[in-house]
Amino acid sequence: MAGNIKDKEAYQRLNFLYQAAHCALAQNPENTELARFYCLTQKTISKRLVLRQDPSLKRTICKKCCTLLIPGVTSTVLQKRGPMRQRKTVVRCLSCGLIKQFPNNPKHELWVDQPEAQLENQTSHDAGPSLKSKTQKKKPDIGSAYMTAKTSPTV
């Protein structure tokens, strides 16, 4: 339980920093340096404590320069058509020029949205031993088949 509470405080801190970055830009769109400082601090904390941040949040922060990406203020957002006629969203950071691309596929599921990513589902997924015994059972079968194949030409 103690670990959970500790994480909760860290997440609250990350949440605060993220909101502070938004507030800084909302007050003055030229406050990009301050917003970047908040986002950099947020990134450093999440890295040091190994806290996974939600993809929806990660997508709004530039990977290269840690600028908070707000369409029309610190980033440009375009809809493009890539190969195979697939549409994609292209987000470009205005301060460093880094480009993020996201395919517009409604069927695409993020890893965090998949049931296997949830910790409570992973315990049921932990049916490793039964799977292992299955493969171990299979192996001798292959071996015996190989043996018979090998012995048949000599006879």
Candidates 10, 45, 51, 98; binder of Zn ion (CB under 5 A) is 98
- Identity of the residue, 45 or 65, whose beta carbon is nearer to Zn ion in the bound complex: 65
Which of 46, 75, 93, 100 touches Zn ion (CB under 5 A)? 93
Residues 21-80 that bind Zn ion (CB under 5 A): 62, 64-65, 67
If one asks whether residue 91 binds Zn ion (CB under 5 A), the answer comes out as no
Binding status of residue 94 toward Zn ion by CB under 5 A:
no
Phi/psi at 81 (5° precision): -110, 115
H helices of the chain, where?
Answer: 2-27, 32-48, 55-58, 119-125, 128-154
Residue type for position 57: L
- Choosing from 96, 110, 112, 147, the residue that interacts with Zn ion (CB under 5 A) is 96
Distance CA(23)–CA(26), nearest Å, equals 5
For residue 75, the minimal CB distance to Zn ion (Å) is: 8
Number of Cα atoms under 13 Å in the Cβ half of residue 95: 19
Report how far residue 16's alpha carbon sits from residue 10's, in angstroms, rounded to the nearest whole number.
Answer: 10
Number of residues that bind Zn ion (CB under 5 A): 7
Q: Give the footprint of Zn ion on this chain (CB under 5 A).
A: 62, 64-65, 67, 93, 96, 98
